[in-house]
Amino acid sequence: MLKKSFLFLIVLCSYGLAFAQNIDSVQLVHAKWSKQRVARKVKLITHHFNAKDLFLANQNISYLEIRNRGKSPVLAIGAEEKVLKTTSTFGEEHKALAAVNGSFFDVKNGGSVDFIKVEGKVLAENQLERNGKRAKHQQAALVIEAGKLALKKWDGSADWEHNLREENVLLTGPLLVLNGQDEVLDSSSFSRSRHPRTAIGIKANGRIVLLTVDGRNANAAGMSLTELARTMKWLGCSSSINLDGGGSTTLWISGFPDGGVVNYPSDNKLWDHAGQRKVANVILVKKI
């Protein structure tokens, strides 16, 4: 009898979880998203879930969708070896259309803590953990060749990133979804807790999504990595990857109000557009 009751509870919990996910997916897909043309084949899409109606919380999502065919804008990596700069500064200096913050970095000394190669030049190597192992954000890569983006998964070899042939490589992660298959996420606090997040995804039709989720504010709770993965999947991404988040999370668009910052960076702990954190690298959207 006890065994049957236990099994019943498992089934009930599983049903409840699936039901909640279905509600959230419907809420996200059918929300009245604001859409604005940024440039040819580039669209800004935003929505503020302000009635605790996504994952039972307030959420503010901003993302760029880029048509990645023909004469479309190209993606690039902007990076410094030591100097930290705001995402908007990187964007302005590179005369970009838009930018989001990139991968993880050394807040004290500057520079990336993950392998990064720009235009064939290696700017940083992986800073391994104390046990000599790779961090989760060193087990996948965002690669760009001729302005086109792809996501790749670490093959387990020590020199994997050095053997990637693309001229532009940025290690980051963890991967959320790859080729339609959910990646296994660990149970660490970093994964489970809600934070501001930045992610990049590729849709089945080839379109690119550059997304920010705000957090650490009553107006926006932020997301766990599981919630972020579901969000990217519900937006149509067959592959997606996590970038640095927290106070780094920033989406900047050239010529937009508030210095071009679209989301609500949390580094100043205020609900405004002025809380950018200086970072070591960014992903740029540039004209051909």
Same domain, 9 and 76: no
**88 and 121 in a common domain:** yes
**DSSP letters for the chain:** -HHHHHHHHHHHHHHHHHHHHHHHHHHHHTS--EEEEEETTEEEEEEEEEEEEETTEEEEEEEEEE--SSS--EEEEEE-SS--B-HHHHHHHTT-SEEEE-S-B-TTT-SBSS-EEETTEEEE-----TTSPPPGGGSEEEEEETTEEEEEE--S-TTGGGG---SEEEE---EEEETTEEPPP--SHHHHS-B-EEEEEEETTS-EEEEEE--SBTTB--B-HHHHHHHHHHTTEEEEEE---GGG--EEETT-TGGGB-S---TTSSSSS--PPPBSEEEEEE--
Query: Mean per-residue pLDDT for 9-23?
Result: 53
Q: What are the pLDDT digits (tens) for 39-52?
A: 999 999 999 999 99
Residues 6+ away with beta carbon under 8 Å from 92: 254, 260
Same domain, 143 and 19: no
Domain that holds residue 19: 1-30
Give yes or no for a contact between 218 and 58, defined as CB atoms under 8 angstroms apart.
yes
Looking at the fold, whether 20 and 148 belong to one and the same domain comes out as no
41 shares its domain with 24 = no
Q: Does 100 lie in the same domain as 26?
A: no
Binned at pLDDT 50, 70 and 90, residue 22 comes out as: confident
Label residue 20 by pLDDT band (50, 70, 90): low
Please check whether residues 154 and 71 belong to one and the same domain. Answer: yes
| Residue 8 confidence (pLDDT) above 50 | no
| Average pLDDT value for residue range 210-235 | 98
Q: How far apart are CA 49 and CA 60, in angstroms?
A: 6
State the residue for tokens 């498992």.
10
User: pLDDT (tens digit, 9 = 90+) per residue, 53-103?
Assistant: 999 999 999 999 999 877 889 999 999 999 999 999 999 999 999 999 999
Domains in the chain, number: 2
Whether residue 3 is found in the same domain as residue 81: no
Residues 11 and 119 placed together within one structural domain of the fold: no
